[in-house]
Structure 1
Amino acid sequence: MSLQHIGVVGAGQMGSGIAQVFAQAGFQVTLVDTQERFLARGIDSIQKSLARFVQKGMLSEEEKEATLARIKTTIELTPLSQVDLVVEAIVEQMDAKAKLFSQLDQICPASTILASNTSSLPITEIAAVTNRPAKVIGMHFMNPVPVMKLVEIIRGLATSDEVYETIHQLTEKLGKHPVEVQDFPGFVSNRILMPMVNEAIYSVYEGVATPEAVDAVMKLGMNHPMGPLQLADMIGLDTCLYIMETLQDGFGDSKYRPCPLLRKYVKAGWLGRKSGRGFYQYS
C-alpha cells in the first residue's frame, strides 16, 4: 500500500509536530484546522522547530525550506479527498473525534487509511462510526513529536493486518520506533504515566510538598528528565484530565480518579504552558 500524500487534522502542538515529521521525511502534507489563525500558529511552531534543527546542524537551510514547501494549509476538509492517509490530532474528546471520522469517511476515498493520534480513547469505538473499520488505526506520537522516537500503534478490533503493516513501515520511514499496543484505555504510555502525574498532583493537593519539590524528587531521585508537574503543564492539564477520566470510565477503578486540584485548575483555565499558567507560570 503506497502512501504519498498525508492529511493532518489539527494544527496544535501535536498536529503541527506530526505535519513536520511527515514533511521532513519527504511526504506532501495537507494540514487542516478550523481557523486560519490556528494554522498560522501551527506553521510558526514548525518554522521555529526547523530553525532549531538548522542551528544544531541537524538540518540544512535548503532542507528546512523544502520541508516547509511540502506543507499546504486549509480550513476545509474537502482537500483530504486527495490523500492516502489522514492523521487526526484534535481535542481528546470522543464526540469530537467521532464526528470528524464520520466526515472523513464520507470525504476520503475508500483506499484512504484513517489514523487517530488519540492518547487514550478506544480505536474500536472511533472506527465504528465509519464504513471502513479495517482501515482505522491508532498512531499515537509522543510530545514533542519532532524529537521523541516512540509511536504507539494501536489496532482496533477490525484493523486489518495490511493496514497495520503499512503504518508500521511508515513509522520507521519517519525515523520513529513503532510499538504495537492493544486497544485498552490509555494504551501503555498513558496508563502508566497519567496515574503517576495524578499522584504528583495529589501530593501538592494534600500539602505533602510544593510542585518544585515534587519535580525535584522525580528528576534528581528517579533520573526523570522532567518532573511530572512540569510534564503535565507541557501536555496540558485539560488533556491530563480527559485522559484520567477515560481511564476511570474505561476500567471503572477508583485508583484512576482525577485529583480535585486537577479539576479545579482546569475549571480556572490554568491549563499549563498553553494558557500561561498551570503548576508554574509562563511568560
Structure 2
Amino acid sequence: MAAQQVQKLGIVGSGTIGAGLARAAADAGIEVLVWARSPERARERLKRDLPVTSELADLAGCDLVVESVAEELAVKRELLGRLDATLPGDTPIASTTSSLSVAELATASGRPERFGALHVFNPVEKMKLVELAFPAEASEETRALLKGVCDQLGKVAVEVPDVPGFVVNRLLFPYLFDAVRLLEETGLDPKSIDTCMKLGAGHPMGPLALLDFVGLDVSAAIGESIGVEIPQRVRDLIAQGRLGRKTKAGFYEYE
C-alpha cells in the first residue's frame, strides 16, 4: 500500500544516533523536532539549527515519533510509557533499538499496532541500511509508514525478524569479540589485527577500531543481549573508562 509521507518527525534523544537521524531527516526536507533532557547540550550535539524541546507534549503534532535513548530495556520502557501517555493515540512510535526485543518495546509503547523498530546505523548520514522489525500486531499502515520514511531518507530498508541483534549485530559482534580474543591470546597489537582485516578481507575498518567507534560499553550491551561472551579485555577497558572514540581512548588513543 502507498505510504503516507512523514512531514514532521519527532526524535526522542540527542545522542549519536538521535542527532544523526535528525540531521539526515533535515537534509531530506523533513521537518524535525528533537526532545532532549538538556536542550543546550542537544544543540551542541546536533551541530545544526534544529528545534529542540524538553517537553514531550510538544511532539504531539508529529507524524512519527522515534525513540532513540540509551540501549537499556528499562530506560526505553519507561520513556515509551511516557510517550504513550502524552501523544495522541494514533501517533506511530518507532525505536532505534539495535538489539532489544521489539515485542517487549511494542508492549511498553501501549500501541503495538502502531510500533516498529527503525534500526539506523552510525554514521546515520552515510550508512544506507535500515533494519526494520515489527511486532506481530503492527498494522499494514505502520509498516508502510516506516518503509516510506526510509525511502524519504534515501535509505535501503530490509525487514528483519524480531530476534536479538536482528541480522547485522547478530553476525557482526561475535566476529568483533573474536578479534579481541585473538589479541588476548597472541599479544598482537590492535593495528596489526585491523590491518589484516582491512587489507585481507576488504573491510573499511578493522574490528578493534570498529569497537572503539561503536563504543565499548554499547558493544558489551549488544553482546550481552545476543548471548555472546564479552572478552575480559573489553570489560577491563570499560572499567578504566576507556570506552572508545567518545572518551578519546579505547583500544587506541584519539586526539
Instruction: State the TM-score, normalizing by the size of structure 1.
Output: 0.86
What displacement does 1:267 show? 1.7
Q: Is 1:38 matched with 2:10?
A: no
Q: Which letter does structure 1 place at the counterpart of 2:79?
A: L
CA distance in 1, matches of 2:185, 2:214: 23
Secondary structure of 1:206 counterpart? helix
Secondary structure of 2:89 counterpart? coil
What displacement does 1:114 show? 0.7
Q: Residues 174 and 2 (structure 1 numbering): CA distance in 2 closer, same or farther, change over 3 Å?
A: closer
Question: Which of these residues, 141, 144, 156, is aligned with residue 120 of structure 2?
Answer: 141
1:235 alignment partner in structure 2: 214
What displacement does 1:130 show? 2.7
Q: Is 1:20 matched with 2:19?
A: no
Secondary structure of 1:153 counterpart? strand
1:9 alignment partner in structure 2: 12
CA distance in 1, matches of 2:122, 2:115: 22
Question: Which of these residues, 207, 212, 230, is aligned with residue 258 of structure 1?
Answer: 230
1:74 alignment partner in structure 2: 53
2:252 alignment partner in structure 1: 280
CA distance in 1, matches of 2:154, 2:39: 30
What displacement does 1:89 show? 1.4
Q: After superposition, what is the alpha-carbon deviation per residue over 1:213-245, rounded to whole angstroms, capped at 9, x for unaligned?
A: 110111010000111111111111111000000
CA distance in 2, matches of 1:208, 1:166: 50
1:56 alignment partner in structure 2: none
What displacement does 1:170 show? 1.5
Matches within 5 A, 1:1-283: 1-44=4-47, 47=48, 68=49, 71-248=50-227, 256-283=228-255
CA distance in 1, matches of 2:33, 2:55: 10
What displacement does 1:205 show? 2.1
CA distance in 2, matches of 1:89, 1:217: 34
Q: After superposition, what is the alpha-carbon deviation per residue over 1:65-107, rounded to whole angstroms, capped at 9, x for unaligned?
A: xxx4xx2111222211221211111111000000111011111
**Count of residue pairs brought into register by the alignment:** 252
Secondary structure of 2:131 counterpart? strand
- Contact kept in structure 1, 2:8 and 2:31, CA below 8 Å: yes
CA distance in 2, matches of 1:266, 1:76: 33
Secondary structure of 2:109 counterpart? coil
Q: Which letter does structure 2 place at the counterpart of 1:111?
A: D
CA distance in 2, matches of 1:189, 1:38: 31
What displacement does 1:40 show? 2.5
Secondary structure of 2:159 counterpart? strand
Instruction: State the TM-score, normalizing by the size of structure 2.
Output: 0.95
- Contact kept in structure 2, 1:84 and 1:111, CA below 8 Å: no
- Contact kept in structure 1, 2:131 and 2:160, CA below 8 Å: yes
Q: Which letter does structure 2 place at the counterpart of 1:260?
A: Q
**Deviating more after overlay: 25-34 vs 200-209:** 200-209
Root-mean-square deviation (CA), in Å? 1.3
1:54 alignment partner in structure 2: none
1:60 alignment partner in structure 2: none
Secondary structure of 1:220 counterpart? helix
Q: After superposition, what is the alpha-carbon deviation per residue over 1:151-174, rounded to whole angstroms, capped at 9, x for unaligned?
A: 001112322222111111220111
CA distance in 2, matches of 1:204, 1:260: 11
Aligned-residue identity in percent = 38
Structure 1: gaps of 5 or more residues: 48-67, 249-255
CA distance in 2, matches of 1:263, 1:77: 35
- Contact kept in structure 1, 2:13 and 2:34, CA below 8 Å: yes
